Structure 1
Amino acid sequence: MAHFITEECYGCLLCTQMCPVWAISGRPFGEHIVKTERCVDCGVCGRICTREAVLDGNGQVVRWMPRAKWPKAVINREVCSGCGLCVDICRKKALTMSGPGYSEAFPTLKPEACLGCGICAAECPSEAIIMEAASI
């Protein structure tokens, strides 16, 4: 189920800028709306909201948390096929292909860029990516 933005929102635009699937629209200092057909239920909008104005699909407040505590993608290179799909779908360019040669390339995570949305893990055809809570 899609997330929902409550009237506690004051229109700072952080959620619109951070949403990995462009599911949130709104004007500065105005009402913001989640497009339910686009929302992938990742929770990024709630984790970035200092007003705690976002409800998850169960009606629970998604609590703000420091970016360092957001989940991060972990890639199992033993299972990874090197297809690069995760690199292509990451809106924040948190994944890049690296390795000794084109046929041996594998994705590498830039942790500071990762939103922890989990889209890469959900779309990985070899199930080589999992999301792990930050170890802080």
Structure 2
Amino acid sequence: MADNKTKPTALSVAAFLDACSDEKQRTDAKALAKLMQKVTGNEPTMWGPSIVGFDSFHYTYESGRQGDMPIVGFSPRKAANVLYGPIGFEGVEAVLAKLGKHTTGKGCLYIKQLADVDMKVLETLIKKVTATRTRQA
């Protein structure tokens, strides 16, 4: 069985965020890091070369494949900020309806810029998935 490529690394989160070439993207990325750190109570860790993650949980698929992933995390991509984890709980649709401009896909939440969303609703999403995944651990 293939090993999970997304693992915690010793890379610097601050250096990664500072390296965002677009000023707005850098500002949004730092705001996301601050929000996720506040909600989870954990310091950020680089997962692979491009994901800023907070805490971790162990998963096992029906196929038997298993591994560890951050409870929540994000990656500032050119097209949008990709948020990992904040849509993995029951009733998420009702909360997403209040979020603002976003898209979803394959367990990820895509936000072009934080100005497009309600930050209180985003914080609620992160709180709910953090509570759900912490109970599962």
TM-score, with structure 2 as normaliser? 0.29
Larger C-alpha radius of gyration, 1 or 2? 1
- Structure with a larger share of its residues in strand: 2
